[in-house]
Structure 1
Amino acid sequence: MNDFPQPHDSSYRFLLSSKKLFVELLRSFVKKEWVLHVEEAQVEEINHSFVLADFRRKEADLVYKVRLNGRDLIFYVLLELQSKVDYEMPYRLLLYQTEIWRFVLRNREVADTTAPYSLPAIVPIVLYNGSRPWSAKRRFRELLANEESFGPELLDFEYVLLDVERYAEEELLDLSNTIGSVFLLDQTADRELLLTRLRKLMETIRGMPEDMKEHFIHWLANMIALQLPPDSKEVERLIEEMKEKGVTVMGLGKNLEAIKLKGIEEGMEEGMERGIEQGTMLGKESVAINLIGMGLSDSAIALATGFSEQKIEQLRNQIH
Protein backbone atom coordinates (compact mmCIF):
# COMPACT_ATOMS: atom_id res chain seq x y z
CA MET A 1 0.00 0.00 0.00
CA ASN A 2 1.41 3.40 -1.02
CA ASP A 3 2.09 5.98 1.66
CA PHE A 4 1.02 8.86 -0.56
CA PRO A 5 -0.40 11.94 1.19
CA GLN A 6 -4.05 12.86 0.88
CA PRO A 7 -5.05 15.47 -1.73
CA HIS A 8 -5.24 18.30 0.79
CA ASP A 9 -1.56 17.87 1.70
CA SER A 10 1.11 19.92 -0.05
CA SER A 11 1.78 18.37 -3.45
CA TYR A 12 5.10 20.16 -3.74
CA ARG A 13 6.18 18.89 -0.35
CA PHE A 14 5.33 15.37 -1.46
CA LEU A 15 7.31 15.80 -4.69
CA LEU A 16 10.39 17.20 -3.01
CA SER A 17 10.37 14.60 -0.25
CA SER A 18 11.90 12.45 -2.98
CA LYS A 19 15.67 12.92 -2.62
CA LYS A 20 16.07 12.26 -6.34
CA LEU A 21 13.61 15.04 -7.21
CA PHE A 22 15.22 17.40 -4.70
CA VAL A 23 18.62 16.94 -6.33
CA GLU A 24 16.97 17.40 -9.74
CA LEU A 25 15.45 20.68 -8.50
CA LEU A 26 18.87 21.95 -7.41
CA ARG A 27 20.60 20.96 -10.64
CA SER A 28 17.82 22.43 -12.78
CA PHE A 29 17.36 25.82 -11.13
CA VAL A 30 20.22 26.65 -8.74
CA LYS A 31 23.03 27.79 -10.99
CA LYS A 32 25.97 27.38 -8.61
CA GLU A 33 29.16 25.37 -9.12
CA TRP A 34 28.80 23.50 -5.80
CA VAL A 35 25.44 22.05 -6.92
CA LEU A 36 27.33 19.74 -9.29
CA HIS A 37 28.85 17.99 -6.25
CA VAL A 38 25.52 17.24 -4.53
CA GLU A 39 24.82 13.51 -4.84
CA GLU A 40 21.55 11.79 -3.94
CA ALA A 41 23.36 9.22 -1.79
CA GLN A 42 24.69 12.03 0.42
CA VAL A 43 21.25 13.63 0.98
CA GLU A 44 19.39 13.03 4.24
CA GLU A 45 16.09 14.63 5.29
CA ILE A 46 16.02 16.16 8.77
CA ASN A 47 12.64 14.97 9.98
CA HIS A 48 11.97 17.80 12.41
CA SER A 49 9.35 20.54 12.37
CA PHE A 50 10.78 24.00 12.99
CA VAL A 51 7.80 26.00 14.27
CA LEU A 52 8.20 29.67 15.14
CA ALA A 53 6.08 31.32 17.82
CA ASP A 54 6.16 34.55 15.80
CA PHE A 55 4.13 33.05 12.94
CA ARG A 56 0.66 31.61 13.47
CA ARG A 57 0.36 29.57 10.32
CA LYS A 58 2.02 26.21 9.91
CA GLU A 59 4.75 26.39 7.30
CA ALA A 60 5.19 23.87 4.51
CA ASP A 61 8.91 23.25 4.47
CA LEU A 62 11.65 20.70 4.00
CA VAL A 63 15.07 20.46 5.61
CA TYR A 64 17.82 18.42 4.01
CA LYS A 65 21.33 17.70 5.22
CA VAL A 66 23.95 17.02 2.55
CA ARG A 67 27.50 15.83 3.01
CA LEU A 68 29.63 18.07 0.79
CA ASN A 69 33.44 18.15 0.78
CA GLY A 70 33.51 16.30 4.10
CA ARG A 71 31.26 18.84 5.83
CA ASP A 72 27.53 19.04 6.48
CA LEU A 73 25.52 21.49 4.41
CA ILE A 74 21.87 22.15 5.23
CA PHE A 75 19.17 23.18 2.79
CA TYR A 76 16.08 24.85 4.19
CA VAL A 77 13.28 24.87 1.58
CA LEU A 78 10.24 27.03 2.35
CA LEU A 79 7.24 26.33 0.11
CA GLU A 80 5.50 29.67 -0.33
CA LEU A 81 2.44 28.40 -2.20
CA GLN A 82 0.20 31.46 -2.03
CA SER A 83 -0.69 34.45 -4.16
CA LYS A 84 0.65 37.19 -1.86
CA VAL A 85 4.30 38.17 -1.56
CA ASP A 86 5.65 38.12 2.00
CA TYR A 87 7.88 41.17 2.48
CA GLU A 88 9.20 39.81 5.80
CA MET A 89 10.69 36.80 4.07
CA PRO A 90 14.39 37.52 4.89
CA TYR A 91 13.47 37.94 8.56
CA ARG A 92 11.43 34.72 8.61
CA LEU A 93 14.32 32.85 7.03
CA LEU A 94 16.75 34.26 9.61
CA LEU A 95 14.56 32.91 12.41
CA TYR A 96 14.36 29.50 10.76
CA GLN A 97 18.12 29.36 10.30
CA THR A 98 18.73 30.17 13.97
CA GLU A 99 16.22 27.46 14.96
CA ILE A 100 18.05 24.94 12.76
CA TRP A 101 21.43 25.88 14.28
CA ARG A 102 19.88 25.61 17.77
CA PHE A 103 18.66 22.10 16.84
CA VAL A 104 22.11 21.14 15.52
CA LEU A 105 23.89 22.40 18.64
CA ARG A 106 21.49 20.56 20.95
CA ASN A 107 22.11 17.30 19.10
CA ARG A 108 25.84 17.52 18.38
CA GLU A 109 28.10 14.76 19.63
CA VAL A 110 30.79 17.10 21.01
CA ALA A 111 29.81 18.10 24.54
CA ASP A 112 32.72 20.51 25.16
CA THR A 113 31.44 23.95 24.14
CA THR A 114 34.93 25.44 24.52
CA ALA A 115 36.34 23.28 21.71
CA PRO A 116 36.50 24.75 18.19
CA TYR A 117 33.29 24.02 16.32
CA SER A 118 31.88 25.09 12.95
CA LEU A 119 28.16 25.46 12.41
CA PRO A 120 26.87 23.87 9.20
CA ALA A 121 26.21 26.28 6.35
CA ILE A 122 22.51 26.74 5.55
CA VAL A 123 21.22 27.51 2.05
CA PRO A 124 17.69 28.97 2.32
CA ILE A 125 15.45 28.34 -0.70
CA VAL A 126 11.99 29.82 -1.30
CA LEU A 127 9.74 28.07 -3.82
CA TYR A 128 6.91 30.42 -4.83
CA ASN A 129 4.11 29.71 -7.30
CA GLY A 130 1.95 32.85 -6.99
CA SER A 131 0.81 34.75 -10.06
CA ARG A 132 2.29 38.08 -8.92
CA PRO A 133 6.02 38.59 -9.51
CA TRP A 134 8.05 38.14 -6.32
CA SER A 135 9.04 41.62 -5.13
CA ALA A 136 10.29 41.04 -1.57
CA LYS A 137 13.92 41.76 -0.74
CA ARG A 138 16.29 38.89 -1.45
CA ARG A 139 19.09 40.01 0.88
CA PHE A 140 18.59 40.30 4.62
CA ARG A 141 20.51 43.55 5.07
CA GLU A 142 18.20 45.31 2.62
CA LEU A 143 15.49 45.08 5.30
CA LEU A 144 17.64 47.16 7.66
CA ALA A 145 17.25 50.93 7.86
CA ASN A 146 20.28 52.92 6.69
CA GLU A 147 22.10 49.71 5.69
CA GLU A 148 23.92 51.45 2.85
CA SER A 149 25.95 53.42 5.44
CA PHE A 150 27.57 50.26 6.73
CA GLY A 151 29.92 47.59 5.44
CA PRO A 152 30.31 43.89 6.23
CA GLU A 153 29.72 44.46 9.95
CA LEU A 154 25.98 44.02 9.32
CA LEU A 155 24.39 40.60 9.30
CA ASP A 156 23.58 39.49 5.76
CA PHE A 157 22.56 36.53 3.61
CA GLU A 158 20.67 36.02 0.35
CA TYR A 159 18.12 33.28 -0.25
CA VAL A 160 17.59 31.34 -3.47
CA LEU A 161 14.23 32.19 -5.06
CA LEU A 162 12.46 29.71 -7.35
CA ASP A 163 9.55 31.69 -8.84
CA VAL A 164 7.58 29.08 -10.79
CA GLU A 165 5.60 31.54 -12.91
CA ARG A 166 8.67 33.43 -14.14
CA TYR A 167 10.37 30.56 -15.97
CA ALA A 168 9.92 30.61 -19.74
CA GLU A 169 8.14 27.70 -21.43
CA GLU A 170 11.15 26.99 -23.65
CA GLU A 171 13.51 26.85 -20.66
CA LEU A 172 11.30 24.33 -18.84
CA LEU A 173 10.79 22.19 -21.94
CA ASP A 174 14.55 22.13 -22.55
CA LEU A 175 15.12 20.60 -19.11
CA SER A 176 13.26 17.46 -20.25
CA ASN A 177 12.83 16.26 -16.68
CA THR A 178 10.19 15.78 -13.99
CA ILE A 179 10.57 19.03 -12.05
CA GLY A 180 10.62 21.12 -15.24
CA SER A 181 7.41 19.39 -16.36
CA VAL A 182 5.78 20.13 -13.00
CA PHE A 183 6.72 23.82 -13.16
CA LEU A 184 5.45 24.10 -16.73
CA LEU A 185 2.04 22.60 -15.95
CA ASP A 186 1.74 24.52 -12.68
CA GLN A 187 1.92 27.80 -14.58
CA THR A 188 -1.61 27.48 -15.97
CA ALA A 189 -5.11 26.54 -14.85
CA ASP A 190 -6.48 26.95 -18.39
CA ARG A 191 -7.70 23.60 -19.73
CA GLU A 192 -6.65 24.09 -23.34
CA LEU A 193 -3.21 25.45 -22.49
CA LEU A 194 -2.71 22.61 -20.01
CA LEU A 195 -3.46 20.04 -22.72
CA THR A 196 -1.24 21.86 -25.23
CA ARG A 197 1.67 21.80 -22.82
CA LEU A 198 1.02 18.19 -21.91
CA ARG A 199 1.31 17.26 -25.61
CA LYS A 200 4.73 18.91 -25.68
CA LEU A 201 5.76 16.96 -22.58
CA MET A 202 4.65 13.48 -23.65
CA GLU A 203 8.11 12.35 -24.75
CA THR A 204 9.62 13.60 -21.47
CA ILE A 205 6.91 11.84 -19.43
CA ARG A 206 7.39 8.56 -21.28
CA GLY A 207 11.13 8.75 -20.58
CA MET A 208 10.79 9.36 -16.83
CA PRO A 209 12.08 6.61 -14.51
CA GLU A 210 9.16 4.71 -12.97
CA ASP A 211 9.58 6.19 -9.48
CA MET A 212 9.69 9.75 -10.88
CA LYS A 213 6.72 9.05 -13.14
CA GLU A 214 4.71 7.82 -10.15
CA HIS A 215 5.44 11.05 -8.26
CA PHE A 216 4.55 13.10 -11.35
CA ILE A 217 1.24 11.26 -11.89
CA HIS A 218 0.25 11.77 -8.27
CA TRP A 219 1.09 15.49 -8.45
CA LEU A 220 -0.81 15.89 -11.75
CA ALA A 221 -3.91 14.13 -10.42
CA ASN A 222 -3.86 16.30 -7.30
CA MET A 223 -3.52 19.46 -9.38
CA ILE A 224 -6.55 18.48 -11.48
CA ALA A 225 -8.53 17.48 -8.39
CA LEU A 226 -8.08 20.95 -6.85
CA GLN A 227 -11.06 21.90 -9.02
CA LEU A 228 -13.19 19.39 -7.09
CA PRO A 229 -14.75 19.64 -3.61
CA PRO A 230 -12.28 18.82 -0.78
CA ASP A 231 -14.06 15.57 0.11
CA SER A 232 -14.21 14.27 -3.46
CA LYS A 233 -12.83 10.79 -4.14
CA GLU A 234 -12.11 11.70 -7.77
CA VAL A 235 -8.38 12.12 -7.17
CA GLU A 236 -7.96 8.45 -6.18
CA ARG A 237 -9.74 7.39 -9.38
CA LEU A 238 -7.54 9.69 -11.48
CA ILE A 239 -4.34 8.34 -9.93
CA GLU A 240 -5.33 4.73 -10.48
CA GLU A 241 -6.44 5.38 -14.05
CA MET A 242 -3.22 7.19 -14.96
CA LYS A 243 -1.15 4.43 -13.38
CA GLU A 244 -3.00 1.72 -15.31
CA LYS A 245 -3.34 3.48 -18.68
CA GLY A 246 -0.50 5.98 -18.51
CA VAL A 247 -0.74 9.74 -19.01
CA THR A 248 -2.32 10.62 -22.34
CA VAL A 249 -3.57 13.93 -23.66
CA MET A 250 -6.87 12.37 -24.70
CA GLY A 251 -7.36 10.73 -21.31
CA LEU A 252 -6.50 13.88 -19.42
CA GLY A 253 -8.79 15.91 -21.67
CA LYS A 254 -11.69 13.59 -20.84
CA ASN A 255 -10.93 13.86 -17.14
CA LEU A 256 -10.80 17.66 -17.29
CA GLU A 257 -14.10 17.77 -19.17
CA ALA A 258 -15.70 15.40 -16.65
CA ILE A 259 -14.45 17.55 -13.77
CA LYS A 260 -15.76 20.67 -15.46
CA LEU A 261 -19.21 19.11 -15.92
CA LYS A 262 -19.13 17.82 -12.34
CA GLY A 263 -18.33 21.32 -11.14
CA ILE A 264 -21.22 22.77 -13.16
CA GLU A 265 -23.59 20.20 -11.72
CA GLU A 266 -22.42 20.77 -8.15
CA GLY A 267 -22.47 24.52 -8.63
CA MET A 268 -26.07 24.36 -9.81
CA GLU A 269 -27.05 22.10 -6.91
CA GLU A 270 -25.36 24.40 -4.41
CA GLY A 271 -26.96 27.45 -5.96
CA MET A 272 -30.40 25.91 -5.99
CA GLU A 273 -30.09 24.82 -2.36
CA ARG A 274 -29.25 28.38 -1.42
CA GLY A 275 -32.15 29.51 -3.57
CA ILE A 276 -34.58 27.46 -1.52
CA GLU A 277 -33.41 29.29 1.59
CA GLN A 278 -32.97 32.78 0.16
CA GLY A 279 -35.37 32.87 -2.77
CA THR A 280 -35.44 31.37 -6.23
CA MET A 281 -33.94 34.42 -7.94
CA LEU A 282 -30.93 34.52 -5.59
CA GLY A 283 -30.37 30.80 -6.16
CA LYS A 284 -30.41 31.24 -9.94
CA GLU A 285 -28.01 34.17 -9.66
CA SER A 286 -25.64 32.01 -7.60
CA VAL A 287 -25.79 29.34 -10.31
CA ALA A 288 -25.13 31.92 -13.03
CA ILE A 289 -22.14 33.36 -11.14
CA ASN A 290 -20.69 29.86 -10.69
CA LEU A 291 -21.05 29.20 -14.40
CA ILE A 292 -19.48 32.57 -15.31
CA GLY A 293 -16.50 31.62 -13.12
CA MET A 294 -16.18 28.36 -15.05
CA GLY A 295 -15.84 30.25 -18.32
CA LEU A 296 -19.15 29.30 -19.97
CA SER A 297 -20.66 31.52 -22.65
CA ASP A 298 -23.66 33.79 -21.99
CA SER A 299 -25.87 31.66 -24.22
CA ALA A 300 -24.98 28.45 -22.33
CA ILE A 301 -25.64 30.13 -18.97
CA ALA A 302 -28.95 31.49 -20.24
CA LEU A 303 -29.98 27.99 -21.23
CA ALA A 304 -29.04 26.59 -17.81
CA THR A 305 -30.70 29.31 -15.70
CA GLY A 306 -33.49 30.79 -17.80
CA PHE A 307 -32.01 34.28 -17.48
CA SER A 308 -31.76 36.60 -20.45
CA GLU A 309 -28.29 37.21 -21.86
CA GLN A 310 -28.66 40.86 -20.79
CA LYS A 311 -29.16 39.75 -17.16
CA ILE A 312 -26.10 37.50 -17.39
CA GLU A 313 -24.04 40.38 -18.76
CA GLN A 314 -25.09 42.46 -15.73
CA LEU A 315 -23.94 39.69 -13.37
CA ARG A 316 -20.69 39.35 -15.27
CA ASN A 317 -20.04 43.09 -14.84
CA GLN A 318 -20.75 42.84 -11.10
CA ILE A 319 -18.03 40.28 -10.48
CA HIS A 320 -15.33 41.87 -12.65
Structure 2
Amino acid sequence: MSFQSHDALVKAVFAQRRHAEGLLKSLLPASVAGRLDWSSLELRPGSFVDPSLRARHTDLLFSVQSPEQSVLLYVLVEHQSTVDPMMPLRAVIYAGRVWDRYLSDHPGDASPPAVLPIVLHHGRKPWSAPTQLHEVVCRDRTLADGVAERMIQLDLVVHEVSEASCLALHRRGMLTALGTLALLLLDKARQSDDILADLRRWVGLMRVVLSEPSGIAALAMVVQYIVEVTGTPTGDLETLLVSELGPGGEEAFVTGAEQLREEGRMQGLERGLAQGREEGRRAERARLLIKLLDAR
Protein backbone atom coordinates (compact mmCIF):
# COMPACT_ATOMS: atom_id res chain seq x y z
CA MET A 1 0.00 0.00 0.00
CA SER A 2 2.87 2.37 0.81
CA PHE A 3 4.23 2.36 -2.75
CA GLN A 4 0.78 2.81 -4.26
CA SER A 5 0.28 5.82 -2.00
CA HIS A 6 3.64 7.37 -2.97
CA ASP A 7 2.99 6.70 -6.65
CA ALA A 8 -0.52 8.16 -6.51
CA LEU A 9 0.64 11.31 -4.71
CA VAL A 10 3.52 11.98 -7.13
CA LYS A 11 1.37 11.49 -10.21
CA ALA A 12 -1.67 13.37 -8.91
CA VAL A 13 0.43 16.45 -8.15
CA PHE A 14 3.32 16.54 -10.60
CA ALA A 15 1.40 15.30 -13.62
CA GLN A 16 -0.13 18.79 -13.51
CA ARG A 17 1.99 21.26 -15.43
CA ARG A 18 1.71 24.13 -12.98
CA HIS A 19 3.13 22.00 -10.17
CA ALA A 20 5.79 20.31 -12.31
CA GLU A 21 7.15 23.36 -14.13
CA GLY A 22 8.84 25.11 -11.22
CA LEU A 23 10.29 21.88 -9.87
CA LEU A 24 11.79 20.96 -13.24
CA LYS A 25 13.19 24.46 -13.73
CA SER A 26 14.88 24.28 -10.35
CA LEU A 27 16.52 20.93 -11.07
CA LEU A 28 18.11 21.78 -14.41
CA PRO A 29 21.25 23.87 -14.87
CA ALA A 30 20.29 27.51 -15.40
CA SER A 31 21.91 27.46 -18.85
CA VAL A 32 19.55 24.64 -19.88
CA ALA A 33 16.39 25.86 -18.13
CA GLY A 34 16.83 29.30 -19.67
CA ARG A 35 16.84 27.87 -23.20
CA LEU A 36 13.56 26.01 -22.86
CA ASP A 37 10.10 27.30 -23.73
CA TRP A 38 8.26 26.31 -20.58
CA SER A 39 4.88 27.24 -22.05
CA SER A 40 5.32 24.14 -24.25
CA LEU A 41 5.74 21.76 -21.29
CA GLU A 42 3.54 18.65 -21.66
CA LEU A 43 3.19 15.37 -19.80
CA ARG A 44 3.78 12.38 -22.08
CA PRO A 45 1.96 9.08 -21.52
CA GLY A 46 3.40 5.81 -20.30
CA SER A 47 5.86 4.30 -17.86
CA PHE A 48 9.25 2.90 -18.77
CA VAL A 49 10.17 1.26 -15.45
CA ASP A 50 10.62 -2.51 -15.21
CA PRO A 51 7.47 -4.07 -13.71
CA SER A 52 9.57 -5.70 -10.98
CA LEU A 53 10.84 -2.27 -9.89
CA ARG A 54 7.57 -0.35 -9.85
CA ALA A 55 7.43 -0.72 -6.07
CA ARG A 56 10.66 1.27 -6.00
CA HIS A 57 10.35 3.88 -8.75
CA THR A 58 7.71 6.23 -10.09
CA ASP A 59 8.44 7.84 -13.45
CA LEU A 60 7.04 10.82 -15.31
CA LEU A 61 8.02 11.91 -18.82
CA PHE A 62 7.65 15.51 -20.00
CA SER A 63 8.35 17.14 -23.34
CA VAL A 64 9.45 20.75 -23.71
CA GLN A 65 10.76 22.75 -26.66
CA SER A 66 14.04 24.56 -27.09
CA PRO A 67 14.57 26.96 -30.03
CA GLU A 68 16.22 24.15 -32.00
CA GLN A 69 14.60 20.90 -30.89
CA SER A 70 12.34 18.98 -28.54
CA VAL A 71 13.71 17.88 -25.17
CA LEU A 72 12.29 15.06 -23.04
CA LEU A 73 12.65 15.39 -19.27
CA TYR A 74 12.47 11.96 -17.66
CA VAL A 75 11.80 12.14 -13.91
CA LEU A 76 12.44 9.08 -11.74
CA VAL A 77 11.27 9.24 -8.12
CA GLU A 78 13.19 6.83 -5.89
CA HIS A 79 10.85 5.59 -3.12
CA GLN A 80 13.17 3.27 -1.20
CA SER A 81 14.97 4.37 1.94
CA THR A 82 18.20 2.96 0.48
CA VAL A 83 19.82 4.23 -2.69
CA ASP A 84 19.89 2.16 -5.89
CA PRO A 85 23.53 1.66 -6.95
CA MET A 86 22.38 0.65 -10.43
CA MET A 87 20.42 3.84 -11.04
CA PRO A 88 22.70 5.27 -13.79
CA LEU A 89 22.42 2.01 -15.76
CA ARG A 90 18.66 1.85 -15.20
CA ALA A 91 18.35 5.46 -16.37
CA VAL A 92 20.17 4.59 -19.61
CA ILE A 93 17.87 1.59 -20.15
CA TYR A 94 14.76 3.65 -19.46
CA ALA A 95 15.99 6.46 -21.71
CA GLY A 96 16.54 3.86 -24.44
CA ARG A 97 12.92 2.81 -24.07
CA VAL A 98 11.83 6.43 -24.37
CA TRP A 99 13.79 6.79 -27.62
CA ASP A 100 12.51 3.44 -28.89
CA ARG A 101 8.92 4.56 -28.41
CA TYR A 102 9.66 7.92 -30.02
CA LEU A 103 11.15 6.28 -33.11
CA SER A 104 8.18 3.91 -33.34
CA ASP A 105 5.80 6.85 -33.16
CA HIS A 106 7.85 8.98 -35.59
CA PRO A 107 9.24 6.64 -38.28
CA GLY A 108 11.78 8.31 -40.49
CA ASP A 109 12.48 11.14 -38.03
CA ALA A 110 16.23 11.74 -38.09
CA SER A 111 16.17 14.24 -35.19
CA PRO A 112 15.15 12.40 -32.01
CA PRO A 113 14.85 14.52 -28.86
CA ALA A 114 17.40 14.75 -26.09
CA VAL A 115 16.39 12.77 -22.99
CA LEU A 116 17.48 14.20 -19.63
CA PRO A 117 17.01 11.80 -16.68
CA ILE A 118 16.34 13.42 -13.29
CA VAL A 119 16.17 11.48 -9.99
CA LEU A 120 14.19 12.67 -6.96
CA HIS A 121 15.44 10.87 -3.85
CA HIS A 122 13.56 10.97 -0.54
CA GLY A 123 15.42 8.32 1.45
CA ARG A 124 16.57 8.37 5.04
CA LYS A 125 20.16 9.11 4.07
CA PRO A 126 21.70 11.31 1.35
CA TRP A 127 22.33 9.81 -2.08
CA SER A 128 25.61 7.89 -1.96
CA ALA A 129 25.37 5.74 -5.10
CA PRO A 130 27.06 6.53 -8.43
CA THR A 131 25.58 9.18 -10.68
CA GLN A 132 27.73 8.43 -13.74
CA LEU A 133 27.37 5.32 -15.89
CA HIS A 134 31.09 4.52 -16.03
CA GLU A 135 31.13 4.36 -12.21
CA VAL A 136 28.72 1.42 -12.41
CA VAL A 137 30.15 -0.58 -15.31
CA CYS A 138 33.90 0.18 -15.06
CA ARG A 139 35.05 -1.01 -11.65
CA ASP A 140 38.60 -1.44 -12.96
CA ARG A 141 39.85 2.11 -12.48
CA THR A 142 42.72 1.70 -14.93
CA LEU A 143 40.30 0.44 -17.56
CA ALA A 144 37.85 3.20 -16.73
CA ASP A 145 40.42 5.90 -17.46
CA GLY A 146 40.70 4.71 -21.05
CA VAL A 147 37.10 3.66 -21.64
CA ALA A 148 34.91 6.20 -19.85
CA GLU A 149 35.17 8.92 -22.48
CA ARG A 150 34.42 6.44 -25.28
CA MET A 151 31.28 4.88 -23.83
CA ILE A 152 27.74 6.18 -23.30
CA GLN A 153 27.93 9.32 -21.22
CA LEU A 154 25.43 9.85 -18.43
CA ASP A 155 25.65 12.06 -15.36
CA LEU A 156 22.40 11.88 -13.43
CA VAL A 157 20.77 14.95 -11.97
CA VAL A 158 19.94 13.80 -8.41
CA HIS A 159 17.82 16.03 -6.19
CA GLU A 160 17.73 15.29 -2.47
CA VAL A 161 14.22 15.97 -1.19
CA SER A 162 14.44 17.64 2.22
CA GLU A 163 12.35 20.05 4.23
CA ALA A 164 14.95 22.80 3.89
CA SER A 165 15.28 22.44 0.11
CA CYS A 166 11.51 22.25 -0.46
CA LEU A 167 10.75 25.33 1.62
CA ALA A 168 13.61 27.24 -0.01
CA LEU A 169 12.22 26.46 -3.48
CA HIS A 170 8.76 27.53 -2.36
CA ARG A 171 10.07 30.84 -0.98
CA ARG A 172 11.79 31.47 -4.33
CA GLY A 173 8.49 30.89 -6.11
CA MET A 174 9.76 27.74 -7.84
CA LEU A 175 7.40 25.30 -6.12
CA THR A 176 3.66 25.70 -5.64
CA ALA A 177 2.23 25.20 -2.16
CA LEU A 178 0.77 21.81 -3.13
CA GLY A 179 4.00 20.75 -4.84
CA THR A 180 5.94 21.71 -1.72
CA LEU A 181 3.52 19.89 0.57
CA ALA A 182 3.65 16.75 -1.58
CA LEU A 183 7.45 16.61 -1.50
CA LEU A 184 7.51 17.30 2.25
CA LEU A 185 5.13 14.40 2.82
CA LEU A 186 7.22 12.08 0.63
CA ASP A 187 10.26 13.03 2.69
CA LYS A 188 8.74 12.92 6.17
CA ALA A 189 5.70 10.64 6.28
CA ARG A 190 7.51 7.29 6.53
CA GLN A 191 10.16 8.35 9.00
CA SER A 192 8.68 11.13 11.11
CA ASP A 193 8.36 10.60 14.85
CA ASP A 194 5.43 13.03 14.95
CA ILE A 195 3.76 13.78 11.62
CA LEU A 196 1.18 15.97 13.38
CA ALA A 197 3.96 18.25 14.61
CA ASP A 198 5.29 18.37 11.05
CA LEU A 199 1.83 19.29 9.75
CA ARG A 200 1.58 22.12 12.27
CA ARG A 201 4.78 23.58 10.82
CA TRP A 202 3.20 23.37 7.37
CA VAL A 203 -0.16 24.91 8.26
CA GLY A 204 0.68 27.98 6.15
CA LEU A 205 1.16 25.76 3.09
CA MET A 206 -2.10 23.94 3.77
CA ARG A 207 -3.96 27.24 4.03
CA VAL A 208 -2.63 28.29 0.63
CA VAL A 209 -3.63 24.92 -0.86
CA LEU A 210 -7.09 25.23 0.67
CA SER A 211 -7.55 28.73 -0.75
CA GLU A 212 -7.20 27.50 -4.34
CA PRO A 213 -10.22 26.48 -6.48
CA SER A 214 -9.49 22.75 -6.10
CA GLY A 215 -8.17 23.13 -2.57
CA ILE A 216 -10.62 20.79 -0.83
CA ALA A 217 -9.85 17.95 -3.26
CA ALA A 218 -6.11 18.56 -2.99
CA LEU A 219 -6.15 18.53 0.80
CA ALA A 220 -8.40 15.45 0.79
CA MET A 221 -5.68 13.69 -1.22
CA VAL A 222 -3.17 14.72 1.45
CA VAL A 223 -5.47 13.25 4.12
CA GLN A 224 -5.62 9.94 2.25
CA TYR A 225 -1.84 9.82 1.92
CA ILE A 226 -1.23 10.52 5.61
CA VAL A 227 -3.79 7.92 6.72
CA GLU A 228 -2.35 5.23 4.44
CA VAL A 229 1.36 5.84 5.03
CA THR A 230 1.52 6.79 8.72
CA GLY A 231 0.06 5.33 11.86
CA THR A 232 -1.43 8.66 12.87
CA PRO A 233 -4.67 8.37 14.88
CA THR A 234 -7.23 9.74 12.50
CA GLY A 235 -9.14 11.44 15.29
CA ASP A 236 -6.02 13.49 16.02
CA LEU A 237 -5.60 14.31 12.35
CA GLU A 238 -9.20 15.46 12.12
CA THR A 239 -8.80 17.61 15.23
CA LEU A 240 -5.67 19.27 13.84
CA LEU A 241 -7.23 20.05 10.47
CA VAL A 242 -10.40 21.46 12.00
CA SER A 243 -8.61 23.54 14.64
CA GLU A 244 -6.02 24.96 12.25
CA LEU A 245 -8.02 25.23 9.02
CA GLY A 246 -11.62 25.52 10.15
CA PRO A 247 -14.56 24.29 8.04
CA GLY A 248 -12.35 23.81 4.98
CA GLY A 249 -10.09 21.47 6.92
CA GLU A 250 -13.10 19.52 8.16
CA GLU A 251 -14.52 19.23 4.65
CA ALA A 252 -11.17 18.03 3.31
CA PHE A 253 -10.94 15.40 6.05
CA VAL A 254 -14.49 14.16 5.43
CA THR A 255 -13.90 14.09 1.66
CA GLY A 256 -10.68 12.11 2.07
CA ALA A 257 -12.42 9.69 4.44
CA GLU A 258 -15.30 9.16 2.01
CA GLN A 259 -12.88 8.45 -0.83
CA LEU A 260 -11.05 5.89 1.29
CA ARG A 261 -14.37 4.26 2.18
CA GLU A 262 -15.36 4.05 -1.49
CA GLU A 263 -12.01 2.43 -2.29
CA GLY A 264 -12.46 -0.13 0.48
CA ARG A 265 -9.66 1.16 2.69
CA MET A 266 -11.82 2.72 5.37
CA GLN A 267 -11.84 0.10 8.11
CA GLY A 268 -8.67 1.31 9.78
CA LEU A 269 -9.75 4.92 9.43
CA GLU A 270 -13.08 4.26 11.11
CA ARG A 271 -11.37 2.40 13.96
CA GLY A 272 -9.09 5.39 14.43
CA LEU A 273 -11.98 7.83 14.38
CA ALA A 274 -13.89 5.78 16.94
CA GLN A 275 -10.81 5.56 19.14
CA GLY A 276 -10.17 9.29 18.86
CA ARG A 277 -13.75 10.19 19.67
CA GLU A 278 -13.83 7.84 22.66
CA GLU A 279 -10.61 9.41 23.93
CA GLY A 280 -12.23 12.80 23.49
CA ARG A 281 -15.29 11.72 25.47
CA ARG A 282 -13.11 10.35 28.27
CA ALA A 283 -11.14 13.58 28.39
CA GLU A 284 -14.35 15.61 28.56
CA ARG A 285 -15.72 13.42 31.38
CA ALA A 286 -12.46 13.85 33.28
CA ARG A 287 -12.58 17.62 32.77
CA LEU A 288 -16.15 17.79 34.11
CA LEU A 289 -15.26 15.60 37.09
CA ILE A 290 -12.33 17.85 37.98
CA LYS A 291 -14.60 20.88 37.66
CA LEU A 292 -17.16 19.30 40.02
CA LEU A 293 -14.48 18.38 42.54
CA ASP A 294 -13.06 21.90 42.42
CA ALA A 295 -16.55 23.31 43.02
CA ARG A 296 -16.78 21.33 46.25
Matched, 1:133 2:126: yes
In the TM superposition, residue 218 of structure 1 has moved relative to its aligned partner by: 4.2
Matched, 1:155 2:152: yes
- With normalisation by structure 1, the TM-score equals 0.61
> Equivalent residues in 2 for 1:197-276 (5 A)?
197-201=201-205, 204-205=208-209, 209-211=212-214, 213=215, 216-227=218-229, 245-247=247-249, 262=272
- With normalisation by structure 2, the TM-score equals 0.65
CA RMSD for the aligned pairs?
Answer: 4.1
Q: 1:175 to 1:89 in 2, by over 3 A?
A: same
Number of equivalenced pairs = 240
Identity %: 22
Equivalent-residue separation in structure 2 for 1:67 and 1:169 (angstroms): 26
Q: Is the 8 A contact 1:62 1:77 kept in 2?
A: yes
In the TM superposition, residue 162 of structure 1 has moved relative to its aligned partner by: 2.0
Q: 1:134 to 1:105 in 2, by over 3 A?
A: same
Q: 1:8 to 1:85 in 2, by over 3 A?
A: closer
Amino acid at match of 2:145: E
Equivalent-residue separation in structure 2 for 1:215 and 1:127 (angstroms): 25
Amino acid at match of 1:210: P
> Equivalent residues in 2 for 1:46-125 (5 A)?
46-52=44-50, 56-58=52-54, 59-110=57-108, 117-125=110-118
SS at match of 1:60: strand
Q: 1:138 to 1:106 in 2, by over 3 A?
A: same
Match of 2:288 in 1: none
Equivalent-residue separation in structure 2 for 1:7 and 1:243 (angstroms): 24
Match of 1:16 in 2: 14
- Summarize deviations over 1:162-191 as a string: whole Å, max 9, x none: 221374475255245322333334443323
Match of 2:289 in 1: none
